[in-house]
Amino acid sequence: MPELPEVETTLRGIRPYVENRTISKLIVRNRQLRWPVPKALIDARDIEIGAITRRAKYILLESSLGTIVSHLGMSGSLRVITDNSRPRKHDHIDWLVAEGDKIRYHDPRRFGALLLVTDTNQDKLFSHLGPEPLSDAFNAEYLREAIKRKAAPIKPSLMDQKTVVGVGNIYASESLFMSGISPLTPANKLSATQLATVCDNIKYVLQRSIDQGGTTLRDFVNSDGKPGYFAQQLFVYGRHGETCRRCESKIEKITQAQRATFFCPTCQH
């Protein structure tokens, strides 16, 4: 699933082609995504686009219709098309930009979405979300307050979007490895020093991944159609049974909250 770095990378890639421009129309080849594409978007013409931003894993386009919300789901990507290349299998939507470019939405599993909302502050998609992990609002003091009553393990606690947004499975595992903290540790048992370390490493790992264009494990590609390269720098995620890059112990894999967790039993305690 595309996580925060992959969505941020996508946003930065499409922004020069869409921000403060006009989408002449959408070509929708398959409306049935996670939720059906709204008819108002399908029928619209000459949609004026303003600022493009990100909230959690959502790309937000301020427009003359309201806020257009794009979510990549499990396997989605948005590519910039500057020629007349034909749609491929699973290319479900084209945004036709008035200047002649296209933004093409590709999604084999169709768990993504393209929606239209009137108020992101009130909409149920956004009203429960915690702070952005790369913002100043996400710090050790905030995290201590957010998890002080949570006896659940720290790893699924970090993946709770009410606690902090965008820290998915890959980056929670990697951040805890960098922090030397077992994913099994109860969240409310971490010291102030440990919480500060976790916050710092979440920011570090996310920014490193953004700088590398995100992590491609299967489907994700950037707006230029190229994969992200952070996968080559992963210490634990997806490396079950392989040797730890630091201590040569074997990386272990367990299941937490129905998600795979990878960790080094020697480096993390």
Query: 115-138 pLDDT, tens per residue?
Result: 999 988 889 999 999 999 999 999
Q: pLDDT value at position 162?
A: 96
pLDDT recorded at residue 99:
84
If you average pLDDT over residues 100-124, what whole number do you get?
A: 93
pLDDT at 158: 98
In whole angstroms, give the CA distance from residue 235 to residue 166.
19
Label residue 93 by pLDDT band (50, 70, 90).
Answer: very high
Condensed to tens digits (0 to 9), the pLDDT of residues 163-207 reads 999 999 999 999 999 999 999 999 999 999 999 999 999 999 999
The three-state secondary structure class of 83 is: coil
Mean pLDDT of 207-230: 72
pLDDT band at 228 (very low <50, low <70, confident <90, very high): low
Please give the share of the chain, as a percent, with pLDDT higher than 70.
95
pLDDT of residue 149: 92
For 122, phi then psi, to 5°, come to -105, -20
pLDDT of residue 2: 85
User: What is the percent of the chain with per-residue pLDDT over 90, rounded to a whole number?
Assistant: 86
Average confidence score pLDDT of the chain: 93
CA distance 86 to 254: 43
Strand 91-97 to 113-117 pairing = unpaired
Q: What is the pLDDT of residues 21-75, one digit of tens each?
A: 999 999 999 999 999 999 999 999 999 999 999 999 999 999 999 999 999 999 9
47-to-19, 39, 106 alpha-carbon distances in Å:
11, 14, 21
Tokens (6 digits) for 195: 């919480």
Q: Is 206 helix (H, G, I), strand (E, B) or coil?
A: helix
Smallest CA-to-CA distance from 163 within 190, 144, 177 is with 144
Mean pLDDT for the stretch of residues 215-244: 77
Q: Is the pLDDT of residue 255 over 80?
A: yes
Q: What are phi and psi of 125, to 5 degrees?
A: -65, -25
**Distances from the Cα of 85 to the Cα of 81, 110, 245, angstroms:** 7, 22, 42
Read off the DSSP letter of residue 56: T
Catalytic residues: 2-3, 57, 259
155 vs 230 pLDDT, higher one = 155
Residue 99 Rama label (left phi>0; alpha psi -120 to 50; beta): alpha
Segment 232-243 mean pLDDT: 93
- Which of 114-128, 143-157, 204-218 is most confident? 143-157
pLDDT of residue 229: 56
Identify the structural domains of the chain with CATH numbers, from first to last: 4-117 (3.20.190.10), 140-263 (1.10.8.50)
